[in-house]
Amino acid sequence: MITKIYNIKQIITYDKVKNDVICEEPHNILIKDDLIHSINYSETDIIADIEIDAEDNILTPGFIDSHTHLIFSSNRSNDFSKRISGQTYLDIAKSGGGIKSSIKNLRESTKEELVNKCDKEIKHFIKNGTTTIEAKSGYGLTIKDEIKSLEVIKELNLLSDIDIVPTFMGAHDFPSNIKNKESYIDLICNEMIPEISNLNLAEFCDVFCEKGYFNCDQTREIALAANSSGLLMKLHADEFEDSGAAYLAGEINAISADHLMKSNKVGIENMAKNNVIATLLPGTTLFLGMNTYANGRSMIDIGCNIAIASDYNPGSSTIYSMPLIMALASLYCGITIKESFIAATFNAAKAINRSNSIGLLNEGYKADILVWDINNLNEIPYWFNSDRIKSVLKNGKLIFKNNIH
């Protein structure tokens, strides 16, 4: 199958060789099956099966949302309302809300119910220009319910037009009915990880490394088990307090460490030294009504590669729009619009170990392409509702068209 895109105003993409965002004006792009075969080809004898008129619009790579908790059962708008009326997280938890309610609801849901519900959510991501989503388990916290969540991701990946990348996050919280914390670490290391790895249900393992949740020693133990089962590590690091998690991410060679609002400089330096991607999640800070945004500027200055993501989850971020996340990262985390664009495309691909196939408009890369009714890169975060996206292509196939345009 050969698809030709013509009448292109400009393409905007990160360029690895120039280490910069480039704007070019090719006459056309040729897609062979699911890959970008050539940009600005000149052969006259190629007959395309499908021709797409870009109508003098700008093309970019599809967004990659490298951190979501997509697999949950019911929303927590009641908690949101309670928080606005002044209740603390602890008050909400005591009255049966918070993460415990998400765990209860997920355990009570069937696989089919979860697949149907999450498939609808994915359509919202697509409308906002996201063509690859990382999704975590972590609201099950029993071997049965964690496997159920990861099987849901597997089914969604087959069902949906876009790619859903699976992460096991049994270490999201401690279940309430366990004997002691160490027994749950043992369950994760000796039963959950080997079983999930045998079933080939996850690529990454994530841990909530934070005071009151999983400490550095427990995280190290889980990382050892994950690595020996072939899972790459990710960390929720230093969101509320400096727990030394950023430093640990470097020590255990995590692929990314995410949040990083309270991390210390030595920790960030150790991440830079060990090529750990620093993922900023400014949507969470906004949604929680806080002002503790991560300092992306100093992380870049120290030498880290920055990714940005939505942290989509029922308790602390219901944002699907990567343009909004770009706007928040530039407004509050001190990074430029160019840097936020790289963070939502190429660096996000690095954070999920796919930088050889997605995140760029480049020959040989997947034809995951957004068509924009804009005049330049600045307009992407400027119109942060994502409504300037005219159409979305995934693997060379048109999967969304905005009827307003």
What's the N-to-C CA distance of the chain in angstroms?
Answer: 27
Residues sharing a CB contact under 8 Å with residue 228, sequence separation 6 or more, in sequence order: none
Piece of 24-32, 266-274, 307-315, 361-369 that binds Zn ion (CB under 5 A):
307-315
Q: Are 263 and 246 in contact (CB under 8 A)?
A: yes
Total residues in contact with Zn ion, by rule CB under 5 A: 1
Query: How many Å apart are CA 87 and CA 359, to the nearest integer?
Result: 41
Bridge-based pairing state of the strands 50-61 and 2-15 = parallel
Cβ-based nearer residue to Zn ion, 151 or 311: 311
Identity of the residue, 121 or 311, whose beta carbon is nearer to Zn ion in the bound complex: 311
Q: DSSP class of residue 231? A: P
Q: Which is nearer to Zn ion, 13 or 284 (CB)?
A: 284
Residue window 71-100: x/- pattern of binding to Zn ion, with contact defined by CB under 5 A: ------------------------------
Residue 169 or 399: which CB sits closer to Zn ion? Answer: 169
Q: How far apart are alpha carbons 70 and 332 in whole angstroms?
A: 25
Q: How many angstroms separate the CA atoms of 116 and 120, rounded? A: 7
Residue 210 within binding range of Zn ion, rule CB under 5 A: no
Choices 124-132, 222-230, 309-317, 361-369 (CB under 5 A): range interacting with Zn ion: 309-317
- Tell me how far, at minimum, the Cβ of 122 lies from Zn ion, in Å: 18
**Smallest distance from Zn ion to CB 343, Å:** 16
Distance CA 76, CA 321 (A): 19
Length of the chain measured in residues: 405
Which is closer to Zn ion, CB of 79 or CB of 311?
A: 311
* Beta carbons within 10 angstroms of residue 42's beta carbon: 8
At its nearest, how many Å lie between Zn ion and the CB of residue 67? 6
CB contact at 8 A, 97 and 78: yes
By beta-carbon proximity to Zn ion, the closer residue of 210 and 251 is 210
| Minimum CB distance to Zn ion smaller for 203 or for 311 | 311
Please state the closest distance from residue 137 (CB atom) to Zn ion, in A: 12
DSSP line for 244-310? SHHHHHHHTT-SEEEE-SS--HHHHHHHHHTT-EEEE-HHHHHHTT------HHHHHHHT--EEE--
Q: In angstroms, what is the minimal distance from the CB of 280 to Zn ion? A: 12
- Minimum separation from the CB atom of position 311 to Zn ion (A): 5
- In order, the DSSP letters of 48-74 are -SEEEEEEEEEEEEPEEE--B----SS
Q: Choose between 208 and 372: whose C-beta lies nearer to Zn ion.
A: 208
Residue from 145, 210, 311, 368 touching Zn ion (CB under 5 A): that is: 311
- Among 93-101, 287-295, 308-316, 335-343, the segment contacting Zn ion (CB under 5 A): 308-316
Of the two residues 30 and 209, which places its CB atom closer to Zn ion in the complex?
A: 209
Q: Give the interface segment with Zn ion, choosing from 41-49, 73-81, 248-256, 303-311 (CB under 5 A).
A: 303-311
45/30 Cα distance (integer angstroms): 13
d(CA 218, CA 220): 5
Least distance in Å: CB of 172 to Zn ion?
A: 8
To Zn ion, the closest distance from the beta carbon of 150 in angstroms equals 16
In sequence order, the 6+-apart residues with CB closer than 8 A to the CB of 243 are: 209, 210, 211, 215, 216, 237, 262
| Residue 295 CB, nearest approach to Zn ion (Å) | 19
Binding residues vs Zn ion (CB under 5 A): 311
